[in-house]
Structure 1
Amino acid sequence: MPLPSTTPSSGPLTLGQDIFDDPHRLAAALRQESPVREVTTPRGVTGWLVTRYEDCRAALTDPRLLKDAKAATEALGRQMDPTSPYLHASARLMESHMLNTDPPDHTRLRALVNKAFTPRTVARLRPRIEEIAEDLLDAMAGTPADSDVDLVKALAQPLPIAVICEMLGIDAADRHRLLEWTRVIVSSAPGTDLVRASDDIVAYLDELIARKRAEPADDLMSALVQVSDQGDRLSRDELIAMGVLMVVAGHDTTVNLIGNGVFALLSAPEQLARLRADASLLPGAVEELLRYDGPVHVATHRVAAEPMQIGGARIPKGALVMVSLLAANRDGERFADPDRLDITRETGGHLAFGHGIHYCLGAPLARAEARIALERLLTRFPALRLGKEAGKPAWYPSLLIHGLVTLPVRLG
């Protein structure tokens, strides 16, 4: 894929639909020709896109690259009209979560929720995750043999949203609204849609927090409210931002891990056959699926605190830096034959969940949900295959998440 000139006079590379539809091909060209490239995203944001593994890994832990939401808002404000939906009050509030903070605030916020997502805590959730998965598979089993099932809507979406909502104490009846809001928030949706979704989810969480304060229950949101009341360690805005992060990251990552993973396996029959023949390969298979077509596209924005160099490119102070986790995990300098799915591959060091102090807090939960979903799905439907309506995959138009809109399958 030819790219425009990478000389300074050429200006930023304008990213088009290819960044959503065929990100691996574009990333391969960038890694070869311009591994740290100034780009303008489909949202109109200009920053530096990093695509090589070593550069990405180093950038994720470089203290000169700020995660602070205020710094990112200021950087965006220099590029956008003040009325931009991305600078809307609710949008800014949502972005002020711990993923967009630096120490010591990040350390304080992460400590408050860390225990809820440890491997030990996730292990206690396993029976409930299995129960939810079985209920969803029961519903799928009623599909006529000659009809397609959308695996995203039937399994990949409802499983993790049910789990995270139960953890937070959110009513089952509200799950569909949360799904709608989060999909708009993480996509390149029109500005009016973003403003509406941002306002709606902030108002919903504000009301939820008030309810948990008045009637605390045995759930994570009640626990966070009580911590806030007892030690004044979480402000109202921090509670809302934390809620947004846990709802969005707590389910979207797993939706895409399951959906992308099943699509990858069904597209590589020999790898699927190996996994069916040896269930002990499942944990390693999930790691390879994370590497091969992970659920996160580009890490959240970082801002250069000073003039610096990344991969030989000069980054000015105040510039936005975008670290492509997808591109890093397909770098042939780190992973041999990177575009081939190999469930027995040594995947240590993949960056699907990030790296450093901002490494995904919910990684143990996402892994557990994906392992359970894949194991139960493949056992229940031994003839599972891509549906007749599968065709060319449709990917969500998002630089944050990387996931399928639908995945039609036949159960057998």
Structure 2
Amino acid sequence: MSYHVVSEPSTVREVLRRVDDFLPTNALTAVVPLSPGARRILARERFALPPILASATGEQHRHVRSMVAGFFTPATVARIGPRVREISRERALAALAGLDDGPVDLADAVAKHIPPLIMAELIGVDCPDLDLFKRWSRDSLELFWGWPDEERQLVLAASAAEFYGWLRGVVLASRGGDSLFGVLDAAGLSTAEICSLGYFLVIAGQETTSQLIATTLHRAVADSATWAAVAESEDAAGAFVRSVLATESSVHTWRRATAHATELDGVELPAGSEILLELSGRHGEDSRPTAYSLAFGYGLHRCLGAKLAEMETTLVLHETARVLPGVRPSGPDPEWLRLLSFQAPLTVFVEGASHA
């Protein structure tokens, strides 16, 4: 796939603002076309992703977005803050106990736990087994934003179908209730439409935040002065999170496609051109303080969970550093997840001073 890459933040905003010229229709399209075998696996589960939120436009998109936004209001995010702090401290204390036996992986012990539980509480559904849920999420990201060969696609498609089957069951069980899925059903959305929305909302609402937390922990613990500062002050933790969002957000690119032949920053683009927007890492040292916010998109498709993700990451960082003031990185630099639109360290191993 050949992309017209847009790096300049002001031009990225222009693309996201020009909703009639640049469409989100390719936002959820697999980077590598799925093989017939992978498509058959998905078809057996009636896997379908009709455009409904991230890949949709027009009045229906705005209507659905307003309903989803009701579950992520500033007041709701503020109310769940104490719960985030509570779980963060619990997980940090568990990591502290684990240090008695040697290095601990903060990505596994801390980062992966909080966002799934918070997302489930906010949208009113039960969280499945955490390890299974994380495998579903990561496999789906790789299937749609990675470069799997045909053999790997079969494994990932089976996982995606399993996830979709669980999700459909949750959607059907939510009818008549006040969960997000129940509200969407009452508004007249079909089961396929709700599953399409839920499939990536559930992943984005927790996996990308876990990735952001892992990156933030990895970068902060690498510098003892930074680690001490974020332990001392929640404001310092928030500022550090925003610096990570500006420089290496977990969602570092996103896609658009031209609706018709158009011009962008002096370049003529034919209809159907694939656009890759760089959301972080291009702001420069002297960018205005809000530059980090582009990591969550801009305009009509800006991430509805932006404030939640920023708050979660800030509190997890602050509480973890408070509970683990003397830790330092352990072992070699970690391997990273590197997909078209997602990135994060796969591990964040730390050790206490006694194990140095």
The TM-score with structure 2 as length reference comes to 0.86
Matched residue of 1:399: which SS?
coil
Q: How does 1:372-411 map to 2 (within 5 A)?
A: 372-387=315-330, 389=331, 391-411=332-352
Displacement of 1:303:
1.3
Paired residue for 2:119, among 149, 164, 173?
164
User: What does the per-residue CA deviation read over 1:73-108, in whole Å, with 9 as the maximum and x for residues that have no partner?
Assistant: 6xx79x957738489657973473401111222201
Aligned to 1:290: 245
Q: What is the identity, as a one-letter code, of the residue corresponding to 2:161?
A: D
Q: How does 1:325-340 map to 2 (within 5 A)?
A: 325-326=279-280, 329-332=281-284, 335-336=285-286
Paired residue for 2:87, among 127, 132, 139?
132
Matched residue of 2:71: which SS?
helix
Alignment partner of 1:83 is 2:45: no
In structure 2, distance between residues paired with 1:272 and 1:359: 30
Q: How many residues align?
A: 342
8 Å CA contact 1:292, 1:330 repeated in 2: yes
Q: Which moved more, 1:269-278 or 1:350-359?
A: 269-278
8 Å CA contact 1:164, 1:246 repeated in 2: no
In structure 2, distance between residues paired with 1:316 and 1:83: 30
User: What does the per-residue CA deviation read over 1:270-322, in whole Å, with 9 as the maximum and x for residues that have no partner?
Assistant: 433443454432322221121122110211x3111111233333322112111
Aligned to 1:235: 190
In structure 1, distance between residues paired with 2:140 and 2:266: 34
Aligned to 1:210: 172
Percentage of pairs with the same residue: 25
Aligned to 1:37: none
Per chain length, whose mean CA-contact separation is higher, i.e. which structure has more relative contact order (CA < 8 Å, sep 6+)? 2
In structure 2, distance between residues paired with 1:347 and 1:204: 41
Q: What is the identity, as a one-letter code, of the residue corresponding to 2:173?
A: R
In structure 1, distance between residues paired with 2:278 and 2:50: 19
Distance change in 2, residues 1:124/1:111 (3 Å): same
Displacement of 1:169:
4.0
Q: What is the identity, as a one-letter code, of the residue corresponding to 2:270?
A: P
Alignment partner of 1:118 is 2:64: no
Distance change in 2, residues 1:371/1:105 (3 Å): same
Aligned to 1:200: 162
Distance change in 2, residues 1:330/1:266 (3 Å): farther
Displacement of 1:146:
6.2
Aligned to 1:349: 291
User: What does the per-residue CA deviation read over 1:189-209, in whole Å, with 9 as the maximum and x for residues that have no partner?
Assistant: 421123212211211111111
In structure 2, distance between residues paired with 1:72 and 1:289: 25
Distance change in 2, residues 1:59/1:98 (3 Å): same
Displacement of 1:170:
3.9
Gaps of 5+ in 2: none
Aligned to 1:48: 4
Paired residue for 1:323, among 271, 277, 280?
277
Aligned to 1:343: none
8 Å CA contact 2:17, 2:298 repeated in 1: yes
In structure 1, distance between residues paired with 2:97 and 2:154: 39
Aligned to 1:359: 302
Matched residue of 2:89: which SS?
helix
In structure 1, distance between residues paired with 2:183 and 2:11: 41
In structure 1, distance between residues paired with 2:101 and 2:36: 50
Distance change in 2, residues 1:268/1:307 (3 Å): farther
Distance change in 2, residues 1:284/1:228 (3 Å): same
Q: How does 1:169-318 map to 2 (within 5 A)?
A: 169-187=124-142, 188=146, 189=148, 190-213=152-175, 216=177, 220-221=179-180, 224-229=181-186, 231-232=187-188, 234-299=189-254, 301-318=255-272
Alignment partner of 1:62 is 2:4: no
Aligned to 1:18: none
8 Å CA contact 2:50, 2:193 repeated in 1: no
Matched residue of 1:349: which SS?
helix
Gaps of 5+ in 1: 1-44, 339-345
User: What does the per-residue CA deviation read over 1:303-342, in whole Å, with 9 as the maximum and x for residues that have no partner?
Assistant: 111112333333221121111213xx3343xx33x8xxxx
Q: What is the identity, as a one-letter code, of the residue corresponding to 1:398?
A: L
Matched residue of 2:166: which SS?
helix
Displacement of 1:256:
1.6
